[in-house]
Amino acid sequence: MASSIDHAAIEALERSHDVLRAFNGTEEQLCSVIDDREALIFRSGVQISATVMDRAPQLRLLVRAGSGLDNVDVEHATRRGIRIVRVPGSSAQPVAEFTFALLLSLVRQVSLGDRLLRQGHWPKAQLGGPLVTGKTLGIVGVGNIGRRVGELAVAWGMRAIGCVAVPSDAISTALAARGIELTDFETVVSQADFLCLHVPLDHVTHHMVDARVLSHMKQGSYLINVARGGVVDEKALYAELVEGSKLRGAAIDVHESEGEGSISPFGELPNVVLTPHIGAMALDAQRLIGARVVALVAAHQQGELEKTLRPDELVQQEMTINEGEL
């Protein structure tokens, strides 16, 4: 196990398998323990590189306890005939709820108020912020998570607009039924009072929010990133927050550099809320994810993985991998 998951799931795995815990290891550390492993369970915070995989000749299964695949070399796994599965179903709601936790904390300066109060200050007059009701929430990436964020926004009396990579009438109609208006990226960026990012990190979305995009944001708007650090050009965001005229603040759960010892470049800015990639850390959701990981590992062992997989757990791997070969 390269990452920690729900404790009950770890215990269940340990009852039926030879489990080795190597949580949040570097590439070197993973390489030093993976040689006889057949399956690897991981979350964000570790890199499942070709080098790591190649140190494990018997490796047949990678289980992503969550949704993001930006930290695994999918092409190499495919070449090696290693099946990748993921468990995204239970993380959408916690991430959507956390987006709102950040949004409200940011706009009403909850974290700053907490920090100042602990230092003996009473800055009531300085800690005002706008209402969210009546404002526009822009969603970049209206997938499972983004759609739920939109629904929460509508429940808060906000206008919810969003964009997707490949728009269609069917998507537009489905979103409209939930009160979310499908539009294009530029419109979302320029009209949002709160711009929320919910796209995976890949070569298309890397630094998609750069200096140009930030300069097109609405005056006095806020940015909330619970997607991946690499989706935002952090240097450009820092410059905008310090010298720019558009953004009033940002909430950042995901960072270009993550893990113990990483210092955020935004640490000194009072108008930024920072959290350590905890969007999906609702414990009841983690319990469900853990139970599903246990079930998938068991199904793999029994040669029944392919028929156990739910559609969203299946990672498209170009080459077909026959279960019999695993």
Residue nearest to ligand MLT as judged by C-beta position: 66
Q: Which two tokens stand for residue 8?
A: 């009950």
Answer whether 46's CB lies under 8 Å from 33's CB: no
Cα end-to-end span (Å), the chain: 19
Binding mask 90-109 for ligand MLT (x = CB under 6 A): -x------------------
- Please identify, among the stretches 64-72, 136-144, 162-170, 185-193, the one whose residues bind ligand MLT according to the rule CB under 6 A: 64-72
Residue of 66, 141, 143, 146 that binds ligand MLT (CB under 6 A) = 66
Residue with Cβ nearer ligand MLT (44 or 221): 44
Sign, Cα dihedral of 290, 293, 297, 299? positive
At 64, is the secondary structure helix, strand, or coil?
Answer: strand
Q: Which two tokens stand for residue 35?
A: 């040689």
Which of 92, 34, 100, 141 is CA-nearest to residue 251?
Answer: 100
Residue 179 one-letter amino acid: G
Residue of 159, 277, 292, 300 that binds ligand MLT (CB under 6 A) = 277
What's the min distance (Å) between Cβ of 313 and ligand MLT? Answer: 12
Query: Which residue among the candidates 228, 255, 292, 300 is catalytic per the annotation?
Result: 228
86 bridge partner residues: 64
**Cα 51 from Cα 31, distance rounded (Å):** 8
**86 part of the active site:** no
What's the min distance (Å) between Cβ of 242 and ligand MLT? Answer: 28
**258 part of the active site:** yes
What's the min distance (Å) between Cβ of 66 and ligand MLT? Answer: 2
Residues that bind ligand MLT (CB under 6 A): 43-44, 66-68, 91, 277, 280
